[in-house]
């Protein structure tokens, strides 16, 4: 980050604006909105600015800029049409350690004005670090459409009730959970609908009830196959509300970055043979953290209910009556197949698709391979890299032709995605040569033929 976003309290503070043309007038409007004591130095000013200064008790000093104008200024804005004057103001202000903004000259600024969405007391600021004010304004318009004006009222309401809620629920974690449920639920809706009296009554009732109990909540969230843009809105919202995040090896860094800065992150990931935290301990940890009143996110790659042990993790929660929600994610088969341009079903090639575990050793059962005979069914093997030779051999053994197309997708949906294409007869040699690394997904069936024409993402095939 090049600039630190901060919000300045300028009520009653001396602010100097040099330049009273249309640009200066725009800046003055903003500075007067926060009740700064504004002095405008300029030989001429617009009629609008003259009127605004009169309305808000600002001062017009009808002169050219001189260095002494800076004395006592807490902030200075230069908006003259002359680059040399603006440069001088910037130099003088920097020498006196006064924050300075020169309109449209980021190189002369020590602070910049963001695009603002004003839902006071809620204020949202957007900046492109001076690169593209147009882009920042476009984004502002989008955010404006998403945040109705009534959010200001909601922020006002929350501010008014903050003290009473703190008195009633002194611990940080449970209080945050209480507020999130209130603001994001019925109470928030009532305030937005203008029924503040009713909302306050409900809030006070819920406060009294919550004062004694501190049960947390667990969200079992599917983080999708890797590309952070494939997370659902709900997954992102709940992730951003979490006090603690327990995450797996397959959860990518940008996804983890969406959690709150102060959230605790606990890695409980497993590699194929290296179980970092035993499953039972993960299950128990979820219970323990929730009983401490925390909002816990259990973040898993793909979908939590597809080869994700999600069911096991929430069984113990259910037995302990801990509230939980499950948020589906895009499973690797869907994500990787789409990004590889391989439709899993297709009217001409496959009428069904089957997700199969390729983990064929030790703690997993072997398959009844005769069930995989159908040439009109696509097979997707998860965790199949190590077992690939067995998979190719057994499928041929059960009657699938040696020419059956096979795709192996490495790091599906990520920028490193690679797609290796062969057949049941050739795939093992291709993998030995190309040495793909986990996670990989294996797709078997005639739909793989479509990859050649429909591939759209990432590198071309090797």
How far apart, in whole angstroms, are the C-alpha atoms of residue 350 and residue 344? 7
* 349 versus 382: smaller Cβ distance to ligand SAM: 382
Residue with tokens 């069936």: 445
Write down the least CB distance from residue 358 to ligand SAM, Å: 7
* 243 versus 410: smaller Cβ distance to ligand SAM: 410
Name the DSSP class of 366. Answer: P
Name the DSSP class of 102. Answer: E
φ/ψ (deg, to 5) at 254: -60, -30
Q: Would you tell me which residues interact with ligand SAM (CB under 6 A)?
A: 225-226, 250, 300-303, 306-308, 331-332, 336, 382-383, 409, 411-413, 438-441
Is 394 catalytic? The answer is: no
* 438 versus 455: smaller Cβ distance to ligand SAM: 438
Could you say which of 92, 227, 248, 303 is catalytic? 248
How far apart, in whole angstroms, are the C-alpha atoms of residue 73 and residue 16? 6
Judge if the upstream peptide bond of residue 359 is cis by omega within 30 degrees of 0. Answer: no
Write down the least CB distance from residue 343 to ligand SAM, Å: 17
How far apart, in whole angstroms, are the C-alpha atoms of residue 32 and residue 49? 10
How far apart, in whole angstroms, are the C-alpha atoms of residue 228 and residue 46? 49
How far apart, in whole angstroms, are the C-alpha atoms of residue 163 and residue 29? 33
Instruction: Report the side by side order of strands in the sheet with 418-423.
Output: 352-357, 377-382, 440-444, 405-410, 418-423
Furthest-apart CA pair in the chain: how many Å? 94
Is 94 catalytic? The answer is: no
Report the residue number whose CB is nearest to ligand SAM. Answer: 302
* 206 versus 252: smaller Cβ distance to ligand SAM: 252
Write down the least CB distance from residue 272 to ligand SAM, Å: 8
* 7 versus 456: smaller Cβ distance to ligand SAM: 456
Could you say which of 35, 94, 118, 270 is catalytic? 270
Name the DSSP class of 274. Answer: -
Residue 80: closest CA among 126, 44, 112, 50: 44
Write down the least CB distance from residue 356 to ligand SAM, Å: 11
Write down the least CB distance from residue 384 to ligand SAM, Å: 6
Q: Provide the angle, in degrees to the nearest 10, between the axes of the packed helices 151-168 and 196-210.
A: 30
Write down the least CB distance from residue 414 to ligand SAM, Å: 6
* 259 versus 331: smaller Cβ distance to ligand SAM: 331
The catalytic site residues sit at 248, 270
């Amino acid at each position: 980050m090049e600039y630190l976003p901060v919000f300045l309290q300028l009520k009653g503070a001396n602010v100097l604006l040099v330049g009273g043309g249309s640009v200066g007038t725009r800046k003055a409007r903003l500075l007067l909105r926060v009740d700064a004591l504004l002095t405008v130095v300029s030989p001429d000013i617009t009629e609008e600015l003259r009127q605004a200064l009169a309305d808000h008790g600002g001062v017009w000093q009808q002169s050219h800029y001189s260095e002494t104008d800076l004395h006592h200024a807490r902030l200075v804005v230069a908006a003259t049409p002359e680059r040399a004057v603006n440069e001088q103001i910037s130099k003088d202000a920097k020498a006196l350690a006064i924050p300075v903004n020169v309109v449209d000259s980021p190189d002369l600024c020590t602070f910049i004005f963001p695009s603002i969405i004003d839902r006071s007391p809620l204020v949202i600021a957007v900046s492109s670090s001076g690169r593209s004010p147009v882009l920042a304004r476009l984004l502002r318009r989008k955010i404006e459409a998403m945040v109705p004006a009534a959010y200001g009222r909601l922020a006002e309401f929350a501010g008014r009730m903050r003290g009473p809620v703190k008195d009633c629920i002194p611990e940080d974690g449970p209080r945050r959970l209480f507020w999130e449920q209130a603001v994001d639920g019925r109470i928030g809706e009532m305030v937005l609908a203008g029924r503040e009296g009713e909302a306050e009554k409900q809030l006070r009732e819920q406060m009294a009830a919550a004062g004694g109990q501190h049960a947390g909540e667990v969200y079992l969230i599917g983080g999708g196959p890797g590309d952070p843009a494939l997370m659902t809105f709900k997954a992102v919202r709940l992730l951003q509300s979490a006090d603690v995040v327990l995450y797996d090896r397959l959860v990518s860094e940008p996804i983890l970055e969406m959690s709150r800065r102060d959230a605790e992150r606990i890695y409980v990931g497993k590699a194929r043979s290296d179980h970092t935290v035993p499953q039972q301990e993960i299950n128990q940890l979820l219970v323990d953290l929730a009983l401490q009143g925390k909002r816990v996110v259990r973040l898993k790659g793909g979908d939590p209910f597809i080869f994700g042990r999600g069911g096991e993790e929430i069984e113990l929660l259910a037995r302990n009556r801990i509230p939980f929600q499950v948020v589906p994610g895009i499973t690797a088969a869907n994500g990787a197949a789409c990004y590889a341009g391989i439709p899993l079903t297709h009217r001409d090639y496959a009428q069904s698709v089957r997700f199969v575990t390729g983990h064929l050793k030790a703690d997993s059962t072997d398959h009844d391979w005769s069930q995989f005979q159908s040439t009109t069914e696509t097979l997707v093997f998860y965790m199949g890299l190590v077992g690939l030779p067995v998979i190719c051999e057994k499928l041929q053994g059960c009657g699938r032709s040696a020419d059956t197309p096979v795709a192996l997708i490495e790091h599906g949906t990520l920028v490193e995605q690679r797609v290796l294409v062969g057949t049941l007869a050739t795939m093992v040699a291709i993998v030995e040569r190309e040495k793909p690394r986990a996670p990989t997904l294996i797709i078997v069936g005639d739909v793989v033929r479509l990859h050649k024409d429909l591939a759209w993402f990432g590198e071309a095939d090797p």
